[in-house]
Structure 1
Amino acid sequence: MHRTYSMRQSRAPTAQQLQNPPPPPSTTKGSRLFGKSNIGHQFRRNTAGAFGPELAKKLSTLVKMEKNAMRSMELVGRERMEVAQQLSIWGEACDDDVSDVTDKLGVLIYEIGELEDQFVDRYDQYRVTLKSIRNIEASVQPSRDRKQKITDQIAQLKYKEPNSPRIVVLEQELVRAEAESLVAEAQLSNITREKLKAAFTYQFDALREHCEKLAIIAGYGTHLLELVDDTPVTPGETRNAYDGYEASKAIIQDCEDALTNWVHQHAAVKSSLSQRSRTLSQRRKHRNRQHEAVDLSGQDNPHADRESGIWVPASDHPGSDYADEDELGVGYGKGVNGETRGREEERAIVA
């Protein structure tokens, strides 16, 4: 008597995508060392801090934990799509109104699953930005190690050979190492703050869009439920013929339009600071302007030789560019966007 009216029959870019193009697919989707299962969750978490420089171990653990969270999000999205299809299959044998509404609800729930998949892609921007901080931390570690090594050598010589002429040479090397370390630490501090703000801006923007679109779908789902006649009937009594097919299609179309036209500027939920919060924030900004930071990144000329101890990017250190296990496996199958939604067959409308 009716057919599925999927909001994903056409995929024109949404208003938000036109303003802010979507990111590339998440790096966690391309390949997997342990397949689709969650076997690797605990393994990744336990081994994350076992490799790489000491300075970067804590953030490496955080990055791996976020990967576990993203794997779970992917699983939730796939499961929700399967739930949507099963809901439509179950409702097919019910009365006309229940059959039509459950079919359209399946469309909405499937859309939620696809939103979950899109959210993972945007969430990965946050995780990749955290990884860049981890790489900077890894590149700073050699300068710290060199300074500590020279300090230990000086202490050892002063204990064993107090009059050794090598002490003077080592002290001069320590001065240079401390200057080099000062530059590296200043750059680490600056980049950490910049990347931290960028990373969580990605996450909060993605959360805001995802949650607002979920709220939109929930609202239109409620409108669909109003088409179901829940008036009790007595045994032998027949219900009025269902005539809500066009209404259910219109609701789905309105939902699609609302999702397509959503942009951050028109978000329904706004966060507003209290007067006390605004005052404290403005006071802090004024204090920061009075103490502008000095950029020390250009005060020393870099040396070409790594053995000199100068700070260099992580990519130039042998073995420092350690990859995640998602870059080691093989592809795990077809993407979710190629799956079939709702009922595949189309029924002719009986006059």
Structure 2
Amino acid sequence: MHRTYSMRQSRAPTASQIQNPPPPPSSTKANRLFGRANIGHTFRKSTAGAFGPDLAKKLSTLVKMEKNVMRSMELVGRERMEVAQQLSIWGEACDDDVSDVTDKLGVLIYEIGELEDQFVDRYDQYRVTIKSIRNIEASVQPSRDRKQKITDQIAQLKYKEPNSPKIVVLEQELVRAEAESLVAEAQLSNITREKLKAAFTYQFDALREHSEKLAIIAGFGKHLLELIDDTPVTPGETRNAYDGYEASKAIIQDCEDSLTNWVEQNASVKSNLSQRARTLSQRRHQNRGVGSEGVDLTHQDQQMDRESGLWIPASQHKGGEEEFDDDGEEEHDVDARGREEERAQAA
């Protein structure tokens, strides 16, 4: 009996691929310095935040961790294909019904491995988009550093040489630096929101397609199991001859057709919002861009505001930046003491 481990000999584009063309192969599938070993995972995670601008370190760590996730998914996909082959090999020596069904189950499991390989490619779209936010953060860091450096120089001069003519020059430079920083920060804010939405749209669309296709395969797999006669027999009794070969082929063909014709519009699982969530979401959308005159919803959802711990006063942002500035730590301490003494004298 011819045994195959792929559902389709020639891979014609599915309806979903026609509607949404597949991305290029994931960047994690090539150029591996450490091969498949876990040492590569550990190295990437431990060194991700050790280099680059402070502003981009946290997102750099996230990007590297996502690469580890993708490498793990690649490994799972390959091992599923190997499991599918081994299942079919084991079933060859069994009775006719078990042999046929395990062969067809091997086809389905092999298909899951191929779907996971395709999922990695789409997941990489999410990771690459997140990387673009990290790159913008890295480009904004110099303007922040320049503004902070000038501010510290002015404070130091005011403490040591209050009448120094350099103070006026530095204050003019600070005005220019603040204008430059203002543009950079606005760009970062805009791009962060745009790319964040795009990145997770890629991920959730890929997850939805992958999960729905897995559910399709699982459903047809259970239909295959019905072809096995599990009625107990007594010693010496002979089971009826197996006649499910055509049925098993038809089940595999139906599964193939379902996977090929799947599109997002026909997804079985729907995410339906509650009436309250829908009302609040619509109101938030309507009030977007209204500004300070918009409807205040904080009295309805206070737990999503300051009580959640996610809200940070603007006065604390600056201190948070200085906390990660390792290069100028000592200089910042001196300047901070100078500014405190200056405020004490003024008081």
Per the TM superposition, whether the score is higher than 0.5 is: yes
Aligned partners of 1:105 and 1:221 also within 8 Å? yes
Report how far residue 258 of structure 1 moved.
0.3
Contact 1:119 1:210 (8 Å CA) reproduced: yes
Aligned residue for 1:72, secondary structure, equals helix
Matches within 5 A, 1:219-234: 219-234=219-234
Deviation at 1:6, TM superposition (A): 3.9
Deviation at 1:289, TM superposition (A): 3.6
**Taking structure 1 as reference, are residues 166 and 97 closer, same or farther at Cα in structure 2, changes over 3 Å only?**
same
Question: 1:241 is aligned with what amino acid?
Answer: A
Q: Tell me the residue number matched to 1:245.
A: 245
**Aligned-residue offset at 1:40:** 1.2
Q: CA deviation at 1:2?
A: 5.7
Residue identity in the other structure for 1:119: F
How is 1:9-158 mapped onto 2 (pairs within 5 angstroms)?
A: 9-158=9-158
Q: Report the CA distance between 1:236 and its aligned residue.
A: 0.9
Superposed CA offset, 1:183-236 (max 9, x none):
100000000000000000000000000000000000000000011011111111
Amino acid at match of 2:28: T
Shift of the alpha carbon at 1:4? 3.7
User: Matched residue of 1:159: which SS?
Assistant: helix
Say if 1:130 and 1:199, in contact at 8 Å, map to a contact too.
Answer: yes
Alignment check: 8 A CA contact 1:5 1:249 kept = no
CA distance in 1, matches of 2:184, 2:111: 47
Identity %: 89
Contact 2:5 2:84 in 1 (8 A): no
Match of 1:270 in 2: 270
Aligned amino acid, residue 18 of structure 2: L
Answer whether contact 1:28 1:70 (CA < 8 A) is retained.
yes
The 1-side partners of 2:94 and 2:234 are apart by 18
CA distance in structure 1 between the partners assigned to 2:161 and 2:170 by the alignment:
13
CA deviations over 1:306-327 (Å, ceiling 9, x no partner): xxxxxxxxxxxxxxxxxxxxxx
1:243-298 CA-to-partner distances (Å, cap 9, x unmatched) read 11111111111100000000000000010100000111111112214239xxxxxx
Map of 2:171 onto structure 1 = 171
One-letter amino acid of the structure 1 residue matched with residue 22 of structure 2: P
Cα-to-partner distance string for 1:145-167 (whole Å, 9 max, x where unaligned): 00011111111111121111111
Distance 1:3 1:113 in 2: 17
Q: What TM-score do the two structures reach when normalised by structure 1?
A: 0.82
Whether the 8 Å CA contact 2:217–2:255 is kept in 1: the answer is yes
Coordinate RMSD, CA, aligned = 1.2
Q: Distance in 2 between matches of 1:25 and 1:38?
A: 22
**Which amino acid is the alignment partner of residue 139 of structure 1?**
S
Q: Hey, which of these two has a bigger chunk of helix by percent?
A: 2
Tell me the distance in 1 between the aligned counterparts of 2:113 and 2:80: 5
- The aligned counterpart of 1:205 is 205
SS, match of residue 46 in structure 1: helix
Opposite residue 21 of structure 2, the aligned amino acid is: P
Q: Which amino acid aligns with 2:263?
A: V
**What residue in structure 2 maps to residue 333 of structure 1?**
none
Q: Contact conserved, 1:7 with 1:256, CA < 8 A, in 2?
A: yes
Amino acid at match of 2:180: E
Q: CA deviation at 1:8?
A: 2.3
- 2: CA distance between counterparts of 1:2 and 1:66? 40
Q: Which runs of 5+ in 1 are unaligned?
A: 293-351
What letter matches 2:237 in structure 1? E
Counterpart CA distance in 1 for 2:3 and 2:277 is: 53
Superposed CA offset, 1:167-190 (max 9, x none): 101000000100110010000000
Q: Within 1, Cα distance between the matches of 2:41 and 2:2?
A: 44
Matches within 5 A, 1:176-187: 176-187=176-187
How does the TM-score come out when normalised to structure 2? 0.83
After the TM superposition, which segments of 4 or more aligned residues of structure 1 sit over 3 Å from their partners? 1-6
Distance in 2 between residues matched to 1:4 and 1:162, nearest whole Å:
84
CA–CA distance in 2 between the matches of 1:45 and 1:7?
37
How far has the Cα of 1:36 moved from its partner?
1.6
Equivalenced residue count is 292
CA gap 1:214/1:162 in 2 versus in 1, 3 angstroms: same
Paired amino acid for 1:62: L
Contact preservation (8 Å) 1:2, 1:245:
no
- Name stretches of at least 5 consecutive residues in structure 2 with no aligned partner: 293-347
Per the TM alignment, residue 3 of structure 1 is displaced from its structure 2 partner at its CA by 4.1
Task: Please give the alpha-carbon distance, in whole angstroms, between the structure 1 residues aligned to 2:167 and 2:261.
Answer: 71
Q: Which amino acid aligns with 1:286?
A: Q
